[in-house]
Amino acid sequence: MKRLYKLAAILILLPQLIIAQNFADGFRLSYNQIQGTARAAAMGNAFGALGGDFTSLSINPAGSALYLSGEFVITPNYFSNGTTLKAGNTNYTDNEQSFSINNIGAVGKFSANPTNSGVVSVNYGIGFNRLANFNGNSLANFNQSGVSWLDDIAGYANNQALTNSYLKNKNLSDVYFRDWTTKLAWDTYLIDPDVDENNNVIDQKYHSILYENEKVDQQKTISQSGKIDEYVLNLSINFNHKFYLGTTVGIQDINYKRISTYGEAFNKNSFNFYDDYYMNGTGVNVKIGAIYKPVQSVRLGLAFHSPTFYRIDDRAELKMNSFLAANHSKSGESLYNYSFNTPMKLVASGALVFAKKGLLSLDAEYQNYASMRFRNGGNGGDNFNDLNSVMGNVFKSVINLRVGAEYKVTKQFALRGGYEMYGNPFEKVLDEQTTLTGNTSVIGLGFGYTINSVSLNAAYTNTLLKTSEGNAQPNYYQLPGENLNHNIMFTLGLRF
């Protein structure tokens, strides 16, 4: 059993079907940490009550009403991800760097009443904020392991009584993932049929090409890339400079790619197995929010985010090659589409503004991940009742906290700091899935300089989340992991 654990630890996240929705897909669509302007990032994105920053359009839509003039902003960002997996007693770390634009946007203002009573102004905003960055690589190795995945594949073929003619079929479709991996291993001469004493083939009986007790070197790598952007259309109203209302229509765009490679090397042969997966989709949501100033130094905010209603297209392909068959054996592309609803959000906020010297801000955000739902799969034929029931038991509700502070050193120069804590939404861990094992924490630092109508803001953020990488075979343990992300961003703002 211990030898099987070693194999299981290296076979990370093998799905049951070539494309099979699981709660990792829903989690990917729902677990977002906004990445907007540098000022907001440095202050922990705690802008639900503050407003006056383009990031607030994705947090509390009333925030745009606090703009006293129009503004255009753009935020380039440098991103570095370090992923560590622990396999046995060894830590394996891989890194990924990328450059991106975190947001581009503009807020405009229509002055309505110069007496500052009643409706003072109507403001509007348009642009986008980045909600998620999926870029990252991970790897793990086991050298001289006493067990091979090929033994597992041959065992599956025997247990399922797969015939030689079935494995020779060139046009399999809509079959189980493990049937496909068995066929690919057959095509690349990695499993052979058993023979009797007269050297006649025994149908439905197979063995791997490894010698008995042969040692193998194993490696698993995963390369991920992609993002979620939210394009926002915002409208807000300023009443008496005391009460602010706003609404935002958010159009979210996701593209995600995961290239997973598993390989083994041994004396007689070597092989690589490739699992390529692509997700693309568009979703829409509506946010409404309000901000109230009971006195000039106090701001209170409340916002509601509807679920984001996604339509998703998935594409996947399996490939395998070996030393005995250099050309890939392929499953062919598998396509699937479905709908998905993220959880709704409630955001309550408060802020203290100390004249022209500084401020403190706090956001508390409620989200129930157990309410995530897959719908209308396969052009409406699949209802996902079983999967949705599982998600209701696996996930729970969380409270996310964001706090921020700003200190004005001079009229033009400010120092900033912030902290974000995103609760772990997993109620339980399933061995075959990738899960979080703790809360996600984000530390932010930054500064800003303003002269006339031009502002330059800079921020650094450090994000730490701990994970457990799972494997599809039952009763196997997981690989503990850690993701450490660094962002360095600059925002150029032009007031008009």
Instruction: Tell me the pLDDT tens digit for each residue of 75-85.
Output: 999 999 988 87
Cα gap 5→14, rounded to integer Å? 15
Compute the Cα dihedral for 384, 386, 389, 390 and give only its sign: negative
Q: What is the pLDDT of residue 267?
A: 80
Are 349 and 46 spatial neighbours (Cβ–Cβ below 8 Å)? yes
pLDDT, mean over the chain? 87
Mean pLDDT, residues 83-94:
79
* CA 444 – CA 429 distance, rounded (Å): 30
Per-residue model confidence (pLDDT) at position 175: 52
Tokens of 17: 């079907």
Where in the chain are the domains?
2-143+212-495, 149-209
Q: pLDDT tens for residues 380-400? A: 677 788 889 888 888 999 999
Give 224-261 pLDDT, tens digit per residue. Answer: 999 999 999 999 999 999 999 999 999 999 999 999 89
Q: What type of residue sits at position 21?
A: Q
**Residue 177: which of 476, 478, 471, 378 has the closest Cα?**
471
- Global pTM value: 0.88
Listed range (139-148, 407-416, 440-449, 450-459) with the worst mean pLDDT: 139-148
The Cα–Cα gap between 36 and 76 comes to: 10
On whether the CB atoms of residues 277 and 224 are closer than 8 A, the answer is no
Percent above pLDDT 90 for the chain: 56
User: How many Cα neighbours within 13 Å face the side chain of 121?
Assistant: 20
Written as six digits, the tokens of 354 are 């100390």
d(CA 308, CA 321): 40
What is residue 19's predicted lDDT score, i.e. its pLDDT? 59
- Overall fold of domain 2-143+212-495: Porin (2.40.160)
What are the residue ranges of helices labelled H in 283-343? none
Tell me the three state secondary structure of residue 378: helix
- Residue 293's alpha-carbon distances to 108, 237, 239, 357, in angstroms, are 22, 14, 11, 18
